[in-house]
Structure 1
Amino acid sequence: MYPAAPASTSLDRDRARAIVAEVTHWHHKFEVFPGVVTPGSYDPGFLLEKLQLPKDMAGLKVLDIGPSDGFFSMNMARRGARVTVVDYRAKNVHGFGAMEQLTALDFDYRQMNLYDIPASDIGAFDIVLFLGVLYHLPDMVRALNIVAGLCQGRLLVETEFAPALMPGVAVAQYYEAASLAGDITNFWVPNRDCLFAMVRDVGFKIDRIDSWGTRILVDASPGRTAKTEKMAYAYGLLPG
């Protein structure tokens, strides 16, 4: 289903299990070392298939925003991509650091808030993964505008959405406190029309969509026309 873990390493399986056990919480459930599966609650293998990433990613620059335990970062690195990661947490606060140690793969890990990316030297990327992050952000439009500015190829956005919320009208529902799934980090859930409109307004065209339950995947690329001035007006970026 996805690339297997390397067959040989200097670590033995017992030590690998001990490293996995040192992580307080795993979200992703995946084989992080031959014969060692993390105790996550979410198996992301099906989503990897839905992304339709190239089997050979040699030479591609990829950005993984909010990577959690690094399942997707790991798989792209194994396919030859140069992977940059952005997360507001230190790598050892979640499973990413353990994954990096157990796979011996190299990543450019940037601990920063997504909204701080414009002030960094992070560069531009052929593929940007923005998976399971959008509805955790208080300003969805600003976030998408920042992400779009980093992408020169494929932008893959996967998020919670509201399929039954006013179809045909671009709206989003705001969730107060922890009223969505008991999680205080959830803010906005857009409907399909709202998500598509935001993606277009940051200068991207939608090439492919997939949805299941209350989740949706948008596969987009830069549009034929330049990004509208709307975002520049919104965030004070017009020249004086």
Structure 2
Amino acid sequence: MTTNVDQLEINKFSELAHRWWDPTSEFRPLHEINPLRLEWINSLAPLAGKNVIDIGCGGGVLTEAMARKGAKVTGIDLSKKALKVADLHSLESGIEVRYKLISAEEMAAQEPGQFDVVTCMEMLEHVPDPASVVRAAAALVKPGGKVFFSTLNRNLKSYLFAVVGAEYVLRMLPRGTHDYGKFITPAELSQFVRSAGLQVDSLKGLTYNPLTKFYSLNNDTDVNYMVACSKPL
């Protein structure tokens, strides 16, 4: 099976893997938004007792947080270094998570329809074919299950905020973290979702205030946004 992966992207995050759980590192924004997105997911798909898969889990920040909510969680990624960090952290924290070095497409072929909830956060803008990942997520979820995506909108504002502002001015992220050309509009992602046999339930924006240095959930999807989907019965 052809792997839908950009090796340069894998290398980029692998080099930073040892800093994944450092809340003052390049991954600080990830730690700061994690409680917001976790509670949003949990409000729409209560995680306790659910079988969950986190696609593109990286070092396992969201993955482990969902397991703390009582879910049985599998985290998949194609970065060996990130998964080693995730696995080590779960051993240290005592939170049980199953991690696998596998692509979303390969996982969908192995375990179709096995998950109540599928999450894929901050990953679609880092692969050559995001629609393929959406199809894999749709294949992994059970009928009646929920799928969650987050990514970056593509417009002038998102370029100024997510690339120029975050990477060059505020230096919240390493330079080169994002490729503006790979950003995905809500309309494009909604089309991927519907083509994969899912329905769009809701969109939610995630914004950062550089003065207060706080993130908040709202209806502003101009830059960072999340999509909740469901698979019809």
Q: TM-score range by the shorter chain?
A: 0.5 to 0.7
Cα distance change on mapping 1:77 and 1:139 into 2, 3 Å: same
Q: Which amino acid aligns with 1:47?
A: R
Contact 1:100 1:106 in 2 (8 A): yes
Q: Which amino acid aligns with 1:182?
A: G
Moved more, 184-193 or 132-141: 184-193
What pairs with 1:22-41 in structure 2 (closer than 5 Å)?
25-29=18-22, 40-41=27-28
Shift of residue 195, structure 1, vs aligned partner:
1.1
Q: Which amino acid aligns with 2:125?
A: Y
Larger helix percent: 2
Q: Output the CA distance in 1 between the equivalents of 2:92 and 2:58.
A: 16
Give 2:97's aligned residue: 107
Secondary structure of 1:182's match?
coil
Q: Output the CA distance in 2 between the equivalents of 1:24 and 1:219.
A: 28
Shift of residue 67, structure 1, vs aligned partner:
1.5
Calculate the TM-score normalised by the size of structure 1: 0.64
Give 1:222's aligned residue: 231
Q: Which amino acid aligns with 1:193?
A: A
Give 1:154's aligned residue: 146
Contact 2:153 2:186 in 1 (8 A): yes
Q: Which amino acid aligns with 1:103?
A: S
- Structure 1: tracts of 5 or more residues without a match: 1-22, 31-36, 166-179, 225-240
Higher relative contact order (CA 8 A, sep 6+): 2
The superposition leaves residues 177-219 of structure 1 with CA deviations (integer Å, 9 ceiling, x where unpaired) of: xxx9514888621212111111111111111110135111000
Q: Output the CA distance in 2 between the equivalents of 1:38 and 1:189.
A: 24
Contact 1:144 1:202 in 2 (8 A): yes
Structure number, greater radius of gyration: 1
Moved more, 149-158 or 74-83: 74-83
The superposition leaves residues 39-87 of structure 1 with CA deviations (integer Å, 9 ceiling, x where unpaired) of: 8422222322333447963321000111122122222212221111111
Q: Output the CA distance in 1 between the equivalents of 2:36 and 2:74.
A: 22
Q: Which amino acid aligns with 2:19?
A: W
Cα distance change on mapping 1:94 and 1:41 into 2, 3 Å: farther
Quick one: percent identity of the two aligned structures?
23
Q: Output the CA distance in 2 between the equivalents of 1:98 and 1:69.
A: 9
Cα distance change on mapping 1:185 and 1:98 into 2, 3 Å: farther
Q: Output the CA distance in 2 between the equivalents of 1:28 and 1:204.
A: 33
Give 1:13's aligned residue: none
Cα distance change on mapping 1:60 and 1:91 into 2, 3 Å: farther
Cα distance change on mapping 1:94 and 1:80 into 2, 3 Å: same
| 2:130 counterpart of 1:136 | no
Q: Which amino acid aligns with 2:126?
A: H
Secondary structure of 2:80's match?
coil
- Structure 2: tracts of 5 or more residues without a match: 1-15, 158-173, 208-222
Give 2:199's aligned residue: 205
Cα distance change on mapping 1:196 and 1:38 into 2, 3 Å: same
Calculate the TM-score normalised by the size of structure 2: 0.66
For this pair of structures, how many residues does the alignment match?
A: 182
Contact 2:17 2:59 in 1 (8 A): no
Contact 2:113 2:139 in 1 (8 A): no
